Amino acid sequence: MEYLKWSHDQAIATITISRPPANALSSGLLKELSAVLDEIEPNRDIRVIVIHGEGRFFSAGADIKEFTTVDTSAGFSNLGKVGQDLFDRMEKFPKPIIAGIHGAALGGGLELAMACHIRIVSETAKLGLPELQLGIIPGFAGTQRLPKYVGTARAAEMMLTSDPITGLEAVRYGLASHAYPETEVLEQTYNLAKKIAKKSPASVKAVIELLNYAKTEEFYEGMNKEAELFGEVFASADAKEGIQAFIEKREPHFKGE
């Protein structure tokens, strides 16, 4: 695989995002993640999955440069739907997925983390959905999952200002379970995984299935609407300006077009 590494030691599988420098999520990486889940799901020896990032970040977002290769609203909506479907599969996956987050989980990186069942963070990690800074919006169900964890007002502030929160704040707001010094995050993530791995696989699977009943019909309506608006916003002149400004490392100049 080009963007992921994965292995398993006894009952715990480890998926490592390995796409330096920022571990940006590309369509190729999402395909590889789907393929890894295909391998893990029928493996009866694996009971828990840990996902983390190699290097400085968990994942600093989606691959913005890849967006420049898409030029239609329908194309962008389809891109969003691919990520939505994969992350929905993760949330329903019969084996618990724990995200060990250090450095940053931003944009698509946070959307990936929110699709995991549990999030363990470093105290200084940065978590956020800064897409509006580029003149675009979250497209992998971030607009639907973030309010579920932090509440509507906090989610609105995070998205509308593009300001990230720290790992300590993420625990306080309900987005993460525990925060540790960065050097301890992975160790503590595995400690939790080992504890869960001792439980009955049938009962663990049942709890995950039941947790998904908390997702209402409105969640899926919102997710579908997000994909539609994701395409519309991405096809705008402001989005093109925002993406180009990001690539050129300058401030965007939005005109409301």
- The pLDDT confidence band at residue 88, using thresholds 50, 70 and 90, is very high
| Whether 228 is catalytic | no
**1 or 13: which leads in pLDDT:** 13
What pLDDT is stored for residue 217 in this prediction?
82
What pLDDT is stored for residue 45 in this prediction?
96
**Whole-angstrom distance, CA of residue 42 vs CA of residue 31:** 18
Mean pLDDT (the chain, rounded): 94
Sign of CA dihedral 112, 113, 114, 118: positive
Which strand ranges, in their side-by-side order, compose the sheet holding 178-180? Answer: 4-9, 12-17, 48-53, 97-101, 118-122, 178-180
Q: Which domain holds residue 43?
A: 4-182
200-256 tens-digit pLDDT: 999 999 999 999 888 888 898 999 999 999 899 988 999 989 989 998 989 999 988
User: 126, exposed or middle or buried, with CB in 10 Å at 0-12, 13-18, 19+?
Assistant: buried
Is residue 23 a contact partner of residue 73, using CB atoms and an 8 Å limit? Answer: no
Residue 244 within any structural domain of the chain: no
What pLDDT is stored for residue 171 in this prediction?
98
User: Could you tell me the CATH number of the domain that includes residue 58?
Assistant: 3.90.226.10
pTM assigned to the model? 0.92
54-78 tens-digit pLDDT: 999 999 988 888 877 877 888 888 8
Among the listed residues 2, 39, 54, 131, the single catalytic one is 131
- How long a stretch of residues is the chain? 257
What pLDDT is stored for residue 5 in this prediction?
98
Number of domains, the chain: 1
Among the listed residues 111, 123, 169, 226, the single catalytic one is 111
Residue 210 within any structural domain of the chain: no
Residue 219 within any structural domain of the chain: no
| Whether 251 is catalytic | no
∠ CA 173-179-185, rounded to 5°: 145
pLDDT exceeds 90 at position 93: yes
Give mean pLDDT, residues 37-51. Answer: 97
pLDDT exceeds 90 at position 12: yes
Token output for 223? 């997710």
Residue 72 within any structural domain of the chain: yes
pLDDT exceeds 90 at position 79: no
- The pLDDT confidence band at residue 185, using thresholds 50, 70 and 90, is very high
Which strand ranges, in their side-by-side order, compose the sheet holding 126-128? Answer: 104-106, 126-128, 165-166
Residue 118 within any structural domain of the chain: yes
Of 61-70, 85-94, 139-148, which gets the smallest average pLDDT?
A: 61-70
**Whole-angstrom distance, CA of residue 250 vs CA of residue 244:** 9
Give mean pLDDT, residues 140-146. Answer: 96
- The pLDDT confidence band at residue 103, using thresholds 50, 70 and 90, is very high
**77 or 4: which leads in pLDDT:** 4
Token output for 191? 């400690």
Residue 251 within any structural domain of the chain: no
Residue 75 within any structural domain of the chain: yes
What pLDDT is stored for residue 8 in this prediction?
95
Cα separation of the two ends of the chain: 40
For the chain, percent of residues with pLDDT exceeding 70? 100
What pLDDT is stored for residue 254 in this prediction?
93
